[in-house]
Amino acid sequence: MLTSVDRLLFIRRVPIFKELRDDFIVGLASVMDELSFPANYTIFKQGEEGRSLYIVISGRVKIHIGDKLLAEFSKGESFGEMSVFDAQPRSASATSLEACECLELTQEQLYDAIEETPEIAVNIIGVLSRRIRELNDKINAIGAQY
């Protein structure tokens, strides 16, 4: 478990929270739950309703569809954002690769945060856009092999 100070310092370094006001970070740090997952634990399943995003404090998490690995996330990286924004079922599953700890930001907490500090939405859009570009590059590379 992170101390209050460690949590604050950690959140400041998370890309989706970059360049946000200190008072906003302090408030956000106080409302997020810290969750622990053992190795090979299913954090969420494809098709489930998604109402939270997660930020990895320690350990690694894989995002996958069945046995197909889509991405891996480690310290400071977030996952699960899409369902929080589009109210659609989870598009993939998330499973811990090793024991890990995550911060959970619920949809309600995120929407309150966006209302107070819209820059957080711009940061999340930037992260999601980068991931789409990376997936496009992978798809193009696979297509070039054929």
Domain extents for the chain? 4-144
Binned at pLDDT 50, 70 and 90, residue 75 comes out as very high
| β-strand partners of 55 | 78, 103
- Render pLDDT for 1-60 as a digit per residue (tens, 0 to 9): 788 888 888 988 888 888 788 888 888 888 999 999 999 999 999 999 999 999 999 999
Tell me how crowded residue 123 is: count the other CB atoms within 10 A of its CB.
Answer: 19
d(CA 93, CA 64): 5
Mean pLDDT of the chain: 90
Pick the CATH number of 4-144 from 2.60.120.10, 3.40.50.300, 3.20.20.100, 3.40.50.720: 2.60.120.10
pTM reported for the whole predicted model: 0.86
Res. 90: pLDDT tops 90: yes
Tell me how crowded residue 53 is: count the other CB atoms within 10 A of its CB.
Answer: 23
